[in-house]
Amino acid sequence: MTGIPTRKSFFRKALIVLLGLILADICLGQLLRHYYFRVRRGEQYRLTYTLDSTRADVLVMGSSRAVHQYIPTIISDSLHASCYNAGKDLQGIFYDLAVLKAITGRYHPRTIILDLTPIAFLPEEAALNELSVLLPYYRQHPELRPILNRRSRWEWLKTCSSLYCFNSLALPIIYNGMAAADDPGVINGYIPRYDSLKHTPSPPFTIPQLVEATDTGLAMAFRDIILVARQNHCTPIVVVSPVYYPLPIGSSTIRLAGELCTQWQVPFFDFTTSAGFHYRPDLFYDELHLNDRGAALFSRMLCSELIAKGFR
Partner 1 sequence: MLFNSFQFLLFFILVTPLYYFTPHKWRWLLLLGASCWFYASFIPAYLLILFTIIGIDYMAGRLIEVSTGKRRQLFLILSLVANLGALAVFKYYNFFTGTVESLLSALHLPVPVFPYWHLALPLGLSFHTFQAMSYTLEVYQGHQKAERHVGIYALYVMFYPQLVAGPIERPQHLIHQFYEYHRPDYGKISSGLKTMLTGFFLKTVVADRLAIYVNYVYAHPDVHSRLALLLAVVFFAFQIYGDFAGYSLIAIGSARTMGFDLVPNFNVPLLSRSVTEYWRKWHISLSSWFYTYLFAPIVTSRRQWGKWAVIYGLFITFFLSGLWHGAGWTFIIWGLLHGCAVTIEFLFSGRGHSRRRNGPLVRVAQHLLTFSFLCFAWIFFRSPSLHDAVTVIRRIFSTSSPWVRTGEFDERSLLILCAFGVAATTLADMKVKYLPERHYLLYHRRAVVRLTACITIIVFILLFGVFNGMQFIYFQF
Residues lying near partner 1 in the complex (CB under 8 A): 1-2, 4-7, 9-10, 13, 16-17, 20-21, 24-25, 28, 125-126, 129, 132, 152-154, 157-158, 161, 163-164, 166-168, 170-172, 175, 195, 199, 202
Helix axis angle, 93-104 relative to 216-231, nearest 10°? 20
Closest distance to partner 1 from the beta carbon of 166 (Å): 7
Q: In the chain, how many H helices and how many E strands?
A: 14, 5
Between 4 and 181, CB nearer to partner 1: 4
Kind and range of the H or E run holding 59: strand 58-61
Between 25 and 52, CB nearer to partner 1: 25
Closest distance to partner 1 from the beta carbon of 148 (Å): 13
To the nearest 10°, the Cα dihedral for 306, 310, 311, 312?
120
Rounded Cα–Cα distance for residues 86 and 52 (Å): 12
Between 1 and 249, CB nearer to partner 1: 1
Between 53 and 129, CB nearer to partner 1: 129
Closest distance to partner 1 from the beta carbon of 284 (Å): 14
Closest distance to partner 1 from the beta carbon of 270 (Å): 27
Closest distance to partner 1 from the beta carbon of 176 (Å): 10
Sheet holding 83-85, edge to edge: 83-85, 58-61, 111-115, 235-240, 268-270
Q: What contacts 24+ positions apart, CB below 8 Å, involve 145-149?
A: 147/94, 147/97, 147/98, 147/101, 148/98
Mapped onto helix, strand or coil, the DSSP state of residue 292 is: helix
